[in-house]
Every structure is written in C-alpha cells, then in structure tokens.
Amino acid sequence: MYSFAYHRAKNVKDAAALLKKADDAKLLAGGQTLIPTLKQRLAGPGALIDLGGVKELTGIALKGKVLVIGAMTRHAEVANSKVVKKAIPALAELAEAIGDPAVRNVGTIGGSVANNDPAADYPAACLALGATIVTSKRKIPADKYFKGLFETALADDEIITAVEFPLPKKAGYAKFPNQASRYALVGVFASTGPAGTRVAVTGAGESGVFRVAEMEKALDKNFSAKSLDGIAVKPRGLNTDIHASAEYRAHLIGVMAKRAVAAA
C-alpha cells in the first residue's frame, strides 16, 4: 500500500467535510474491494475516510412500500434480515451469494453500489428494481446512476447514505458465478412491480450492468419463464475473456433470466 492518512468519520456531515478537505481522499466502507486494490498499489489515495463508525448509515427499514437499506449495512445483515426476506426475498438471496461468509460480514451495500464493479451483484438489483440511490446531496434513480465500468453519477464529494428499493410484485435473481473469483459471470435480476417489468444483467456487459428490453417486453405481458422462449441475446457488446466467450455469456443470460423468473 502507498501511505495515506486515516480519518474515522463520526457522522455523514463529518465524513463529507473530511472528504472535501482532504486531498485525494477515498471513502472506506467495508473495504473488501478497496483494501485489496490498495495492497496491490493499484490505487494510492492520500487519505481514507472510514465510515465504519457512522451509525446513521446502518440499518434496514420498511418505509411504506419502500425498503430502505443504509449504505453501511453489511451483506450478511441484508441476507439474514427478516424484513428483507419478507419484503424482497430475492434481494436477501442476492446478498447471501456475494463473496464468502467472511466478506459478507464486512462488505456493504453502499460500497458495492459506489464501486459499480461490472460483475457485482447489487447493481443488477438496483437497476431491475428501479431503486433510488440516496446520497448526502440528493436522490439518484438507478437508471441515471450506473454509468459504465466502475463509473457512477456520484460526485467526488458525495456519499451514498442509503438505497431505497420500491417493493416489487415479483422479483428473482439468478447468478452464474465466475468459477475463480465467484463474482457474477452472468447475473440476471428480473422483477415486475412499481418500476415496471425489468431485467438487468450484470457480469456480462462490456460497459457494466444493462437491461434487456426484449425480455422485459415479453415478461411484461406474462411474467413467466416460458415467455422468454425464443428470445436470444446477441453476443455483441458482451465480454469475452479467459473465463467465457461472449457467445456463452449471451446464452447464459437466457438461461439465467429464465431461472430468475422461475425463482421469483
């Protein structure tokens, strides 16, 4: 790691102030991606602002027909939350499949959404459920939030405070993990509800999470796996790497979409 200054924020205001003041600072949420990145000297921020002590960023609550998850809520907490399991079981299942148990004990939803790894799970859920990313400054609809590989709509001095998920009528997530990293090789989140009928795909796209209009149209008529018969996603725009070809990923999107819908 390059050397850096460490600050432990007391609250969001404090964190925002530190972020503004410090030169080239980065927020430290769970650190499950950031710390390995720092260790390999792939990043060298001048300061880290640890959000670990900010109580107002944690917690899960159902507010009317919206599930609100604090940014610093750990994956394990989402996975085990009775509230989440009842409100959006697919989201609890998604959280249960992130990383491994020790990573889930530390990694956070805010960290994941802020990082926008193209193979992370949460971006698919946010996009498919029509979530809102709540920050220290504003509310950003998921549709306008994810901007490509590791790119988001967040400003440099903006802090995610929570993610709001409108409750869907039905939702399911099916993940096909990369054998090595266990990130999503292809992950498909399908839902129907207040945000309409949506199918979001993570892990496969050259520019990160994306929606599949043709599938959404078919599912909007009838939200069943059968509706997806005959819909083939094209390999163009999908990743080819040592783990999988674009053709295979395209095929898997079809398979995983059906499984996601069936699980919903």
Residues that bind other proteins (CB under 8 A): 1-6, 8, 28, 31-32, 35-36, 38-41, 48, 50, 52, 76, 99-103, 105-106, 176, 179-182, 242-245, 248, 251-252, 255
**Measured distance CA(186)–CA(67) in Å, rounded:** 25
Question: Residue 261's closest CA among 213, 214, 232, 228?
Answer: 228
Minimum CB–partner distance for residue 186 and other proteins (Å): 10
Complex with other proteins: residue 52 or 141, whichever CB lies closer: 52
Nearer to other proteins by C-beta: 127 or 246? 246
Q: How far is the CB of 39 from other proteins (least distance, A)?
A: 5
Closest residue by Cα to residue 220 from 200, 256, 201, 196 = 196
Cβ nearer to other proteins, comparing 165 with 183: 183
Q: Return the closest-CA partner of residue 86 out of 171, 185, 176.
A: 171
- Measured from the CB atom, is 130 or 187 closer to other proteins? 187
CB of 178 to other proteins, least distance (A): 8
8 phi/psi in degrees, rounded to 5? -105, 110
Least distance in angstroms from the C-beta of 121 to other proteins: 14
Token digits for 186? 């292809």
Shortest Å, Cβ 224 to other proteins: 17
What are the residue ranges of helices labelled H in 105-212?
109-115, 122-129, 142-145
Given the complex with other proteins, which of 197 and 239 has the nearer CB atom?
Answer: 239
Residue 3 Cα to chain centre, angstroms: 29
Two tokens at 211? 């929606």
Nearer to other proteins, 47 or 134 (CB): 47
What residues contact 22, with CB distance under 8 A and at least 6 apart? 5, 7, 46, 47, 49
